[in-house]
Amino acid sequence: MTSTIVGIDLGTTNSEVAIVRAGRVEVIPVAPGARILPSVVGLADDGSLLVGETARNQYALHPERSVRSIKRRMGEYTSVQMAGKDYSPQEISAMILRRLREIAEAHIGETVSKAVITVPAYFSDAQRQATREAGEIAGLEVVRIINEPTAAALAYENCHSGARKALVYDLGGGTFDVSVVNLESDVVEVLASHGNNHLGGDDFDQKVVGFALDHLQKVHQVDARQDPLAMARLQRAAEAAKITLSDQPYATLSEEYLLEKDGVPIHLSVEISRAQYEELIEPYVAETLDALHVALSGAGLAVANINEILLVGGATRTPLVQRRLEEELGMQPRAEVDPDLCVAMGAAIQAAVIAGAQAPTVLVDVTPYTFGTSALEYFMGEMYPYCYVPLIRKNTPIPVSRSEAFCTIFDGQSKVDINVYQGEDPDALNNIEIGRFTIEGLRDAPAGNPLITTFSLDVNGILQVTSREKETGLQHSITIDNAINVKEPSLQAREYLTASGHGDRLS
């Protein structure tokens, strides 16, 4: 019996390990409920080795005994210090790989001695060699090094077939690359690659930290930058807020006793809207689009030659990234394979093929339709009340929940009609109306009173639509039972009114 070959995504920010078992691709949990291992190592007070989340937690307060982003150093003849001792980049990477190997061994109950490891397409021979060495130090024979965009394409391969060209847009924590790949039957070839290995989700976090610092300065006249513990907490809160803003129109950074000023405790509580956040990160997103055109011309291709865009890397969950890519390239990027996990999945698929198995397919439940609502917006040069606002796009993995903010139009407006549609047409009236309801009893407020509308679709095709007045929490919902197979639309909608989240069904 041949032993399992694992697939490893050894990332700058995060790493994952995956296997193929019984024809299925599995990303192995690194801790209960987590499949992502932060690529951080450290030495604790007592000298014990920390890898992953614990090391990441320690990093902000004890950078002198923690190491992160070691991938940027791979292939250099250098050493990094951790608690006063020198380590080569290979040795640090090996600590991550060894942890992943142990996690895989515990999961499958047998020793693991072989791996396929992914590297960025631009990695030089020296960087690839260093990655192999890291594997060896960790007790892994690296049976193949494959390019990350190739792995991502393999994870997507099942969904499509035939020759085509894809753009793999990979925005991670601290690195960005975009590659043009050619897919032909069993061969994936990287035609060109371009990027910036100092651009990623961490920069987005920094913008949110800056936003909070400005707020603290303005409202409390304090400068938190001198306080490492406060900065570490802000960093955490900023990343959490950023992730919330991928699905919600608002996020709150709230940290009690963040710091003290003249003996008085200062509590941070500040809200950031998605619109404010998008303005902060827009220049970074624009930079990635420029890089994309450089990669395209490097491959001697035009946008029209590209058949699909594959999204890779956690930061591609940012709605602005998806929106700007769609505007720029005129097609909806594909994101149905989890962008954090798809490189590891592709590595596992490659590993299975090397081991002699049939290439397995990645199965994901996606919605076959787009669902949305309508709003008053500019449409073909005029204000039009039925502009379609999609909330859940076709091919999004389910279950999914997405929210958007809408505002009242008139002063003193006490009710809003919410229409629910299925379809793609920018004119909502050309789509299928699958439900509608009215939220009544809004507070007496000037025009611009925000309401948050949430669409939640589960794996059984049950769509719940809720609209909530942001300031009061007043809300109203409907449930559409068979949203992905609607025949007689609104008859299937069950309505209920909720005052503050407790459902009192009306019909």
504 tagged catalytic: no
Stretch that binds Mg ion, among 3-11, 80-88, 181-189, 419-427 (CB under 5 A): 3-11
Residue 13, contacted partner among ligand ADP, Mg ion, none, CB below 5-8 A by kind: ligand ADP
List the one residue from 201, 333, 390, 489 that touches ligand ADP (CB under 6 A).
201
Residue closer to Mg ion (CB basis): 148 or 404? 148
Q: Which of 156, 136, 113 has the alpha carbon at shortest distance from 341?
A: 156
By CB under 6 A, the residues from 437 to 496 that bind ligand ADP are none
Q: List the catalytic residue out of 16, 91, 133, 148.
A: 148
Q: How many residues lie near ligand ADP (CB under 6 A)?
A: 21
By CB under 6 A, the residues from 171 to 200 that bind ligand ADP are 172-175, 200
Q: List the catalytic residue out of 9, 202, 338, 469.
A: 9
Q: List the catalytic residue out of 91, 157, 170, 205.
A: 170
- Pull the structure tokens for residue 301: 């291709």
CA distance 55 to 275: 33
With a CB cutoff of 8 Å and minimum separation 6, the contacts of 193 are 120, 121, 122, 149, 177, 178, 179, 180, 295, 298
Residue closer to ligand ADP (CB basis): 322 or 477? 322
Q: Does 14 bind ligand ADP (CB under 6 A)?
A: yes
What is the secondary structure of 336-362 as a DSSP string? -S-TTTHHHHHHHHHHHHHTTPPPP--
By CB under 5 A, the residues from 143 to 172 that bind Mg ion are 172
Tell the residue number behind the tokens 């929106």, with chain if given. Answer: 323
Residue 89, contacted partner among ligand ADP, Mg ion, none, CB below 5-8 A by kind: none
CA distance 82 to 41: 9
Q: Could you give the string, one character per residue 171-200, with x where binding to Mg ion holds by CB under 5 A and - elsewhere? A: -x----------------------------
170 tagged catalytic: yes
Q: Yes or no: say if 420 and 434 are a contact pair by the CB < 8 Å rule.
A: yes
Q: Yes or no: say if 51 and 97 are a contact pair by the CB < 8 Å rule.
A: no
- Angle value at C-alpha 205, between 201 and 209, nearest 5 degrees: 170
In the chain, the amino acid numbered 391 is L
CB of 118 to ligand ADP, least distance (A): 10
Q: Could you tell me how many residues make up the chain? A: 507
Q: List the catalytic residue out of 16, 71, 91, 336.
A: 71
H helix runs in 163-244, sequence order: 201-220, 228-244
DSSP assignment, residue 501? S
By CB under 6 A, the residues from 305 to 334 that bind ligand ADP are 313-315, 317-318
| CA-based torsion, 439, 443, 445, 450: positive or negative | negative
By CB under 6 A, the residues from 217 to 256 that bind ligand ADP are 239, 242-243, 246
Which residues are identified as catalytic? 9, 71, 148, 170
Binding site for Mg ion (CB under 5 A): 11, 172
Catalog residues that contact ligand ADP under the rule CB under 6 A: 11-14, 172-175, 200-202, 239, 242-243, 246, 313-315, 317-318, 340
